[in-house]
């Protein structure tokens, strides 16, 4: 079913361990991503036949695949772990999509590998559904992310707090090289491997740098800029990744590894959902600083190739790293501007944007609904009333709406055009935790229709859809999800 064209498998043996997937006892297809299959030029019907189910569940290795578990290290919650690697996933191979882009086909939950440590190599259905829905939601929002092509039940139990149905998820990414992959070789003083890896990343992901006189510092600069832009996008929609360890930072600069991730409902800058983030290291508002910090080991591993003169190499890398905060601010302000319906840059806009968030916070209001409420074509007074539908105290918004309105009047744009622009940047639907939970609960009862419906609505998050009113709403008190789990 796949026309594999593998390049990572041609790198030296120390980059990975060749593994075979675990044999599932009774594989069954439960989720297929029709749109992604089309993008990859795959026949979606083939996902249901024997060969397709066998390939996507790990029952049989398809022709042309070269399954391997990638080696990598990482800083987990700030603690250095010299050998992590794919402990419950494997790279089946690479294919070229309809746009000519090389994509990795990864199986997750496919059994133990030499990197499994104490883990069982398995994934249960709940985290597979969470990954499927949340990654589709990010994709719908235009945020770079790995995606899920299919989920197969394995027919085997996975033991966590209790026995759950096991699953294998097929993850598609633009590459699975991580900051932790660089750290793995740098820590072993394997400069040759770091250089090979950097060259691999450049030729596969950033070919425009091949001709550069200084490709490695350019690579670092490019990654710093792209990473800052990615995090700005997360921040603009209230997305909390939850496990921003360096092994979860992709050199393809896409959101990867959906563990205890969550979208915030009520805006709270210090919000943490992850059950294992006891110190709040990966809380919402710390994400830009953590992303900055995560680039440091990458810069350090590239030093020997940035310049022959070590001092100069350090200076160049430091300058590149120091550009992160400003780059992030610019990227965030650019998005915030559009979310507030502003076309030109004016002094004071930054304050206007942060005052809006201050008002949302003070009112204890839902972030997504607050942005969407100011995105209507309605006059100001009606907008203010609209806030009453989801928050008790309108006070914090009144002053802000007045200031905002005065600012809007300084631009000659008709309110309909502005409203349309804002609705293209302020989603109506996000992957709300309680909805994801509902989809998982129903799937555990054998009903996957909610998963499909939710993913479908979230694929067009800016467009109001008939019958989907409930998906735009905050959770009721008893539906609120307070904590999310890795599921490992
Ligand atoms: P993550 O928190 O998903 O980024 O995983 C961190 C590390 O733990 C990676 O090396 C994973 O492959 C590994 N890991 C996570 N869950 C399991 C599991 N159930 N079995 C084996 N390894 C795992
Ligand atoms: Mg990971």
19-59 tens-digit pLDDT: 999 999 999 999 999 999 999 999 999 999 999 999 999 99
CA distance 411 to 404: 12
Count the Cβ atoms, other than its own, within 10 Å of residue 105.
24
Q: What's the residue count for the chain?
A: 488
Assigned token pair, 329: 């601010």
Average pLDDT over residues 291-304: 98
Please name the residues in contact with 321: beta carbons below 8 A apart, sequence gap of 6 or more.
224, 292, 295, 296, 299
pLDDT tier for residue 250 given thresholds of 50, 70 and 90: very high
Q: Provide the β-strand partners of residue 148.
A: 171
Average pLDDT over residues 415-424: 95
List pLDDT tens digits, range 97-139: 999 999 999 999 999 999 999 999 999 999 999 999 999 999 9
Interval between CA 195 and ligand 1 midpoint (Å): 26
Q: Helix, strand or coil for residue 276? A: coil
CA distance 47 to 43: 7
Please name the residues in contact with 192: beta carbons below 8 A apart, sequence gap of 6 or more.
none
Q: Where are the beta strands (DSSP E) in 132-255?
A: 147-159, 163-173, 239-240
Of these residues, 49, 50, 213, 247, which one is catalytic? 247
CA atoms within 13 A on the CB side of 58: 35
Choose the residue to mutate in 119, 181, 246 for probing ligand 1, maximizing ligand atoms within 8 Å of C-beta. Answer: 119
pLDDT tier for residue 291 given thresholds of 50, 70 and 90: very high
CA distances from 32 to 28, 55, 143, 148, 447 (A): 11, 13, 21, 8, 14
What local confidence, expressed as pLDDT, does residue 486 receive?
A: 83
Average pLDDT over residues 333-355: 96
CA distance 127 to 123: 7
What local confidence, expressed as pLDDT, does residue 182 receive?
A: 98
Q: Could you give phi then psi for residue 229, rounded to 5 degrees?
A: -70, -40
Q: Helix, strand or coil for residue 106? A: strand
pLDDT tier for residue 287 given thresholds of 50, 70 and 90: very high
Ligand minimally distant from the alpha carbon of residue 87: 1
What local confidence, expressed as pLDDT, does residue 487 receive?
A: 80
Tokens 């690579």 identify what position?
219
Interval between CA 98 and ligand 1 midpoint (Å): 31
pTM for the full predicted model: 0.97
Q: Could you give phi then psi for residue 327, rounded to 5 degrees?
A: -60, -45
Pocket lining for ligand 1, CB < 6 angstroms: 84-88, 115-116, 119-122, 243, 247-248, 257, 259, 486, 488
Q: Could you give phi then psi for residue 17, rounded to 5 degrees?
A: -120, 130
Arithmetic mean of pLDDT over the chain: 96
What atom of ligand 1 comes closest to residue 248's alpha carbon?
Answer: 4
Does position 488 have pLDDT exceeding 80, yes or no?
Answer: no
Left if phi > 0, otherwise alpha if psi is -120 to 50, otherwise beta: which for 35? Answer: alpha
Query: Is 247 a residue of the active site?
Result: yes
Interval between CA 91 and ligand 2 midpoint (Å): 14
Does position 393 have pLDDT exceeding 90, yes or no?
Answer: no
Rg value, the chain, Cα: 23
Q: 42 near 157, Cβ under 8 Å?
A: no
Count the Cβ atoms, other than its own, within 10 Å of residue 345.
10
Tokens 């896409």 identify what position?
254
Q: Whose CA is nearest to atom 8 of ligand 1?
A: 87
């Amino acid at each position: 079913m796949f026309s594999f064209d593998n390049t990572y498998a041609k790198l030296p043996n120390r980059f990975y361990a060749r593994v075979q997937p675990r044999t599932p006892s009774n594989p069954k297809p439960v989720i297929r991503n029709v749109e992604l299959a089309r993008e990859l030029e795959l026949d979606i019907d083939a996902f249901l036949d024997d060969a397709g189910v066998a390939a996507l569940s790990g029952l049989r290795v398809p022709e042309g695949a070269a399954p391997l578990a990638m080696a990598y290290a990482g800083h987990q919650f700030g603690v250095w772990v010299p050998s992590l690697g794919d402990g419950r996933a494997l790279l089946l191979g690479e294919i070229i999509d309809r746009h000519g882009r090389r994509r990795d086909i990864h199986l997750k939950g496919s059994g133990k590998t030499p990197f499994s440590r104490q883990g069982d190599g398995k994934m249960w259905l709940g985290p597979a559904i969470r990954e499927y829905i949340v990654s589709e939601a990010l994709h719908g929002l235009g945020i770079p992310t790995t995606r899920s092509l299919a989920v197969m039940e394995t027919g085997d139990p996975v033991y966590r707090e209790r026995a759950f149905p096991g699953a294998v998820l097929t993850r598609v990414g633009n590459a699975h090289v991580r900051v932790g992959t660089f750290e793995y070789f740098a820590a072993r003083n394997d400069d040759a491997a770091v250089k090979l890896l950097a060259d691999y990343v450049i030729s596969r992901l950033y070919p425009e740098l091949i001709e550069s006189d200084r490709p490695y510092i350019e690579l670092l600069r490019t990654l710093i800029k792209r990473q800052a832009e990615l995090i700005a996008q997360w921040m603009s929609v209230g997305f909390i990744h939850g496990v921003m360890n360096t092994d979860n930072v992709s050199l393809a600069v896409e959101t990867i590894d959906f563990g205890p991730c969550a979208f915030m409902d009520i805006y709270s800058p210090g919000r943490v959902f992850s059950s294992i983030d006891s110190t709040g290291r990966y809380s919402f508002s710390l994400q830009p600083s953590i992303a900055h910090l995560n680039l440091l080991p990458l810069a350090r591993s590239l030093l020997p190739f940035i310049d022959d003169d070590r001092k100069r190499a350090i200076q160049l890398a430091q300058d590149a790293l120091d550009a992160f905060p400003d780059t992030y601010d610019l990227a965030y302000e650019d998005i915030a501007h559009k979310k507030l319906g502003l076309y030109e840059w004016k002094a004071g806009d930054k304050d206007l944007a942060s005052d809006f968030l201050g008002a949302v916070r003070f009112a204890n209001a839902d972030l997504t609904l607050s942005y969407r409420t100011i995105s209507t074509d309605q006059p100001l007074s009606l907008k203010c009333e609209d806030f009453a539908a989801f928050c008790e105290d309108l006070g914090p918004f009144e002053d802000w709406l007045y200031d905002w309105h005065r600012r809007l009047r300084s631009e000659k744009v008709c309110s309909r055009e502005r409203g349309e622009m804002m609705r293209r940047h302020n989603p109506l639907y996000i992957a709300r935790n309680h909805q994801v939970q509902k989809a998982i609960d129903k799937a555990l009862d054998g009903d996957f229709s909610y998963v499909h419906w939710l993913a479908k609505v979230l694929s067009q998050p800016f467009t109001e859809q008939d019958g989907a009113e409930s998906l735009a709403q905050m959770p009721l008190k008893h539906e609120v999800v307070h904590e999310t789990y890795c599921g490992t």
